[in-house]
Structure 1
């Protein structure tokens, strides 16, 4: 009997262990070293014209997410790209134009990198009178570095392009939008002691969410060089932004120390992760005081803790948790229950919830620190975990329906800390698919706070989830308010089987969405086998019930180990009234470059809050009609399965998970919408868009690489 009462806890802990092994295996896998770790291709924006500037793109595609390339100044480590062109006589290649680089800190060293696909544009000057009829192909030899967190591999690509066959490429719209534009005003700089101070003309009302200066020059005379990983500071003096970049004093030979300070520096001022401007600076006066530029507003820790606590309370009304909580609460109200037993159950349940929430949070932080792109509810992106939860939900549904007795949540048993602890584990594990109201800021901050503060937020989330049952266990007056035990409780128990059964069906549907028909029908077969075992065992006791538990554990283990192999790489995309474009950074850049309003939403099939918002506010004819009238471009990011690009984008916007909704008015930065949308929230936004003549909207064709649609 004792083993039977703890089987639920064993399964929950086993699921955590299985998932940890799955993702740890991914994190520890060594990348395969080849000569094509970052592939390079060359494209032209149409044919060249004599006396003009011909734009050529070098597009780089990593073989997997772990590889990254470098900006012209790679930072503390790495190597910038070198290009050797073979051009017709009189033709000349200009300086490469780069997108805004990203910061990557490893072992205290900062690198300036590009993660994922990126394009570098190179302007080529075509002389007047050039004979464009009989041109030989041009070529370029690109030497660059491809790195992961563990290894670096030199790369060389010899690329060839026939100017006479070049055609306009619609992808250049997107690639141009990603290049940082040049400021039309010159900046000044000054080197003072161990600081490089740069005064950059910038309107005082321009928003800076995460400013950083990338400087192309490395050395600043007298043995001084940029301290890339040190914190930069910013302040404003009217329409001038002053950036202070720390310098290191190096112990170098005297002939190098005598090198003068450069007379011109170039760089990129990043406003946020992917938005910025290029600048050129010359020696000059730079103000030494001004109004500090505040870092992005982060709520006080106590406010974040309250948000996590409130978010945990909200999770109690989710359909997979409410039946368990209700039945455990009623079990405390039965006649003769002692205060000591009620207190023990309340504390045990709370301990189970806290162990699950803090354990999941610690695993999340560990995986992110190891370079894995995961977010909140990451466990539900793994087929093995979903299959385990499906078995668990099926067994609990059968128990609530009266098909067999499951001691850990039985109505007739109480005062059993092991059963209450197991129930808390289960409740927390299945209640965390989504970030709901109050949770967004807390969980988003948890990804960037120090580990102890982050774990405090996960613990507060767990405490909020456990609080109702803990209060019932500790406060006799609350227990007295509950209905007295009676025959009606058996009926109530069977009623509660309905939402739990719907949860099991939702998990089965999720198997289809995660891995296609083969995984879905395999999971359905596993579900049928579990139900058959339970029907045979029925409400019998002794050896038969023990054998049934062992059989279910055996079948579940086989299912978790084998069925994920059936998962398909291609899964049918869910239909939508808004006919959205699949989200990518490129698609978003192209949509914003069109001059039309853009709505982006991130969802997942396992996210209850997402599906509620979609039914209430997004998938509505009124929303579709308003969007068509306002010419809104819609993009949808589906996070049902692991997607590192979406994970990174969510983290960049302070979100640990879904849902996330962004609205881009024409020519403006994105506005983050609430996580709970009202029925007319999107309609109102679309109606507020000013009417614009069609001929000023730079629509792009459906044939474009990102697939942004024109009306």
Structure 2
């Protein structure tokens, strides 16, 4: 449909130009075309190479053989039909193109001078001198307008056909440089396989060949989604490329493509036939090594312990070791059980995330917090823990108040991981982003390292007696400390109420508060029965069951997420691929940031560095375009963009300098002056 609309637009433009300019072929063009012959003489039955040198004006571009989502390459034909029996044109040979995304459409273009070579074959019966003229057509575009252009290209004095010719006598030496810009043919054929909505190509390429920012340009139109992220993997001396197929792609018997090896003219011309393609491989990345990613995941998990919803659980569980006395066996058993619970929860969450992505779901880290019912379950859990810490009732499993046990420690580990892993903090971004691209075994190793980091403080207390001896001795103060820990957990419950409104709407929050209030009343009754030494009656258990049924039946029907988004003093526009392309095409600097209401790091950064008067003033002076991607609720477009940037979740901050330069990922923890300094530097430059 895009291509059809483009042709309609081109036709209308052509009609307007023809009406206004009868001599359109002679009109000035935005891309100047010149025809050059490598040699002026050729033997009968031989071939001479022609060059079409295209020189775009500033801001204009031409197109490759397959222009991508929109555009048109060069069309060349002999002007005199009587010459066709004597001369025939071969396939046009293009240099390696560039990628250009305009309003969400991926184009394969040339923004500077480029030369297209074309072989001209001469019939064996031909003889004499022939002045030759060709009609050429192409499309010249900027990021806002496209103009169909044409020219009459003349070879004067023409081509001389004679038997005893020596092409080296008058050969144009510039052709050596122009041929060097063409993609080199790959001597060994590649293979491809279609796997659902993916096209996978195995390219024989020695592992020693350096590759930096590769891109595969598919010559066959309508086969792939050009703007979709491309994935590159290494399997020994094979480079595996994974592309997303286009909807209703036609059958594919053979595949032609150009593999760009780096940001520049280096490329390989590939021909692929159906055949085996390795299922796995190591993702091609210039990023950190696996060892560094494992360390990042470990440190990221360690920092999760200071989150307000995790610290009360961890601190009280740590104090249970002090109550346990000097029993090394008991302390170590609790430490190992707690670690097992944490790591099991992290591995289960990671496996679910990878399985959903393998099934085609656009999800990322903390995807569970985009589901209203998961938020509801977390809120009821936070209310229950807050009530326990406040002393409304005693909850011996997982052992917050009484002497610990391995079973209680294991349950505590599950609980701590469940409430902590939705967060993304420093060190975690690279590790979790890589986990979405690495093979399953390596990805699961990263999730395990995250869990180990989260469990590490309690594990250290369990196995290092010197650390346990530094813990305060049991006493009456522990009851007061427990009560104090109810404050951050209660604040967590309040934050979850706000998040529930953001993901589920006001009626969802009202129904959830009704259920939470009922749970709180029942927990208070249970606590009263515990203090009086009574056992829970059947009616109390029935009340809990009724609340559970109410939770299952009432809440899903009330989900209606609000449409409004948060206001910003930066006048941020909602993120979309087209908005980003438009912002970059304007030549202004662009600040793109992704956030979510459940992301604590995001909110801290927004308060400390983004939503500041100093930042607003600097952005206004530098005329910065601000785009905001809200990932509070599931958004496949945002998830795809995050994945393409190597990020598993939020926050993500990208600065695009003025003039359309490459984007720069900023740190996940922003300093107050960072954005203002970037804007000021842009203005002075």
Q: What is the TM-score normalised by the length of structure 2?
A: 0.66
Residues 515 and 550, structure 2, Cα contact 8 Å, conserved in 1 = no
Following the alignment from structure 2 to structure 1, what is the Cα–Cα distance between the partners of residues 186 and 371?
53
Specify the alignment match of 1:493 in structure 2.
Answer: 482
Specify the alignment match of 2:182 in structure 1.
Answer: 188
Q: CA deviation at 1:243?
A: 2.0
Quickly say closer, same or farther: Cα 1:317–1:123, change in 2 above 3 A: same
Specify the alignment match of 1:52 in structure 2.
Answer: 17
Counterparts of 1:245-256 in structure 2 under 5 Å? Answer: 245=270, 247-248=272-273
Quickly say closer, same or farther: Cα 1:521–1:44, change in 2 above 3 A: farther
Q: CA deviation at 1:337?
A: 4.8
Following the alignment from structure 2 to structure 1, what is the Cα–Cα distance between the partners of residues 104 and 433?
31
Specify the alignment match of 2:219 in structure 1.
Answer: 215
Q: CA deviation at 1:574?
A: 1.0
Specify the alignment match of 1:587 in structure 2.
Answer: 579
Counterparts of 1:396-411 in structure 2 under 5 Å? Answer: 396-411=385-400
Residues 195 and 244, structure 1, Cα contact 8 Å, conserved in 2 = no
Following the alignment from structure 2 to structure 1, what is the Cα–Cα distance between the partners of residues 186 and 604?
57
Q: CA deviation at 1:568?
A: 1.4
SS in 1 for 2:547: helix
Residues 344 and 415, structure 1, Cα contact 8 Å, conserved in 2 = no
SS in 1 for 2:628: strand
Q: CA deviation at 1:340?
A: 1.3
Quickly say closer, same or farther: Cα 1:175–1:395, change in 2 above 3 A: closer
Specify the alignment match of 1:373 in structure 2.
Answer: 362
Quickly say closer, same or farther: Cα 1:318–1:583, change in 2 above 3 A: same
Following the alignment from structure 1 to structure 2, what is the Cα–Cα distance between the partners of residues 546 and 661?
54
Specify the alignment match of 2:632 in structure 1.
Answer: 640
Residues 602 and 650, structure 2, Cα contact 8 Å, conserved in 1 = yes
Quickly say closer, same or farther: Cα 1:549–1:301, change in 2 above 3 A: farther
Q: CA deviation at 1:331?
A: 1.1
Residues 376 and 657, structure 1, Cα contact 8 Å, conserved in 2 = yes
**Residue deviations 1:505-543, cap 9 Å, x none?**
111111100021111111111211111111222242353
Following the alignment from structure 1 to structure 2, what is the Cα–Cα distance between the partners of residues 98 and 245?
14
Aligned to 1:631, which of 618, 623, 638?
623
Specify the alignment match of 1:272 in structure 2.
Answer: none
Quickly say closer, same or farther: Cα 1:358–1:189, change in 2 above 3 A: closer
SS in 1 for 2:594: strand
Residues 369 and 375, structure 2, Cα contact 8 Å, conserved in 1 = yes
Specify the alignment match of 1:424 in structure 2.
Answer: 413
Residues 518 and 566, structure 1, Cα contact 8 Å, conserved in 2 = yes
Following the alignment from structure 1 to structure 2, what is the Cα–Cα distance between the partners of residues 374 and 53?
51
Structure 2 gap segments, 5+ residues each:
20-61, 76-100, 116-180, 191-210, 223-251, 276-282
Residues 385 and 560, structure 1, Cα contact 8 Å, conserved in 2 = no
**Residue deviations 1:352-382, cap 9 Å, x none?**
1011000000000011011000001111111
Specify the alignment match of 1:271 in structure 2.
Answer: none
Q: CA deviation at 1:315?
A: 0.2
Q: CA deviation at 1:96?
A: 11
Q: CA deviation at 1:121?
A: 5.4
Q: Which has the higher contact order (CA 8 A, sep 6+)?
A: 1
Specify the alignment match of 1:243 in structure 2.
Answer: 268
Q: What is the TM-score normalised by the length of structure 1?
A: 0.64
Quickly say closer, same or farther: Cα 1:388–1:631, change in 2 above 3 A: same
SS in 1 for 2:268: strand
Counterparts of 1:482-631 in structure 2 under 5 Å? Answer: 482-541=471-530, 543-544=535-536, 548=540, 551-552=543-544, 554-631=546-623
Alignment partner of 1:447 is 2:472:
no
* RMSD (Å) for aligned C-alpha atoms: 3.6
Larger radius of gyration: 2
Following the alignment from structure 2 to structure 1, what is the Cα–Cα distance between the partners of residues 293 and 212?
23
Structure 1 gap segments, 5+ residues each:
1-35, 55-93, 101-118, 126-172, 197-206, 219-223, 251-293, 693-711
Q: CA deviation at 1:49?
A: 6.7
Alignment partner of 1:653 is 2:648:
no
Alignment partner of 1:234 is 2:223:
no
Counterparts of 1:224-303 in structure 2 under 5 Å? Answer: 226=254, 234=261, 240-245=265-270, 247-248=272-273, 295-303=284-292
Q: CA deviation at 1:301?
A: 1.1
Specify the alignment match of 1:477 in structure 2.
Answer: 466
Following the alignment from structure 2 to structure 1, what is the Cα–Cα distance between the partners of residues 335 and 554?
38
Following the alignment from structure 1 to structure 2, what is the Cα–Cα distance between the partners of residues 494 and 454?
39
